[in-house]
Amino acid sequence: MPRRPRRAPPGRIEVLRIGHRAGRDPRLTTHLALAARAFGAERLYLHPPDPALADRLARVAQQWGGGFSVEGVRDWRSVLREHPGPVVHLTMYGEPLARVLPRLRRADRLLFVVGGAKVPSDLYARATYNVAVGHQPHSEVAALAVALALLRGLPAPGAWPGARQVIVPEAHGKRVVEAEASE
């Protein structure tokens, strides 16, 4: 069982997805956004912008609650420059996550960066930390989910603020109810 952090986890977490290919990556980027949202990130910056994907993800947040948003960006470097906290590039080439976690837990704001098929080489120099969840090829969705779970813990069951629907945990089967009926 994972140990609980000694200090409160970061107050605000955002994610930057670099290199999204609108025609080829919508499913993977959707999974990345859903994992980010479920594990406590507040925003996904999407480079390059994909308005159709952003609209679909906005509907998820409307249906299931929470304050998650997607913002298209044309210049990912400006997002890094303007971010007031540490920039954490998730890459299998980075230093082990366990070694960096204590520093991440002390941050008020974090920006996680995940790349697409071709990560620009200057990202490695621009990031505050280049961090590896594992040093083997793996999905950026898995890396983000593991990093956020270790920082924030697992999402608790129940309705999120503003939710229209909520999942009722069951040992067998699936049950979704209107948010008001679940209270």
- The domain tally of the chain equals 1
Q: Print the domain residue range for 143.
A: 12-182
This prediction has a pTM of 0.87
Residue among 33, 44, 37, 38 nearest 76 (CA): 44
Query: Is residue 129 included in any domain, yes or no?
Result: yes
pLDDT digits (tens, 9 = 90+) for 8-51: 456 799 999 998 777 667 788 889 999 999 999 999 999 888 89
Residue 6 within a domain: no
In a domain, 51, yes or no: yes
Reduced 3-state DSSP string for 67-89: CCEEEECCCHHHHHHHCCCCEEE
Q: Give the residue with greater pLDDT, 155 vs 85.
A: 85
Residue type, 97: L
Q: Is residue 3 part of a domain?
A: no
Tell me how far apart the alpha carbons of residues 116 and 169 are, in angstroms, rounded to a whole number.
Answer: 34
Residue at 4 is within a domain: no
In a domain, 5, yes or no: no
Q: Under the phi-then-psi rule, with left for phi > 0, alpha for psi from -120 to 50, and beta for the rest, what region is 19?
A: left
CATH number at residue 157: 3.40.1280.10
- Please, what is the angle between helix 140-152 and helix 26-38, to 10°? 0
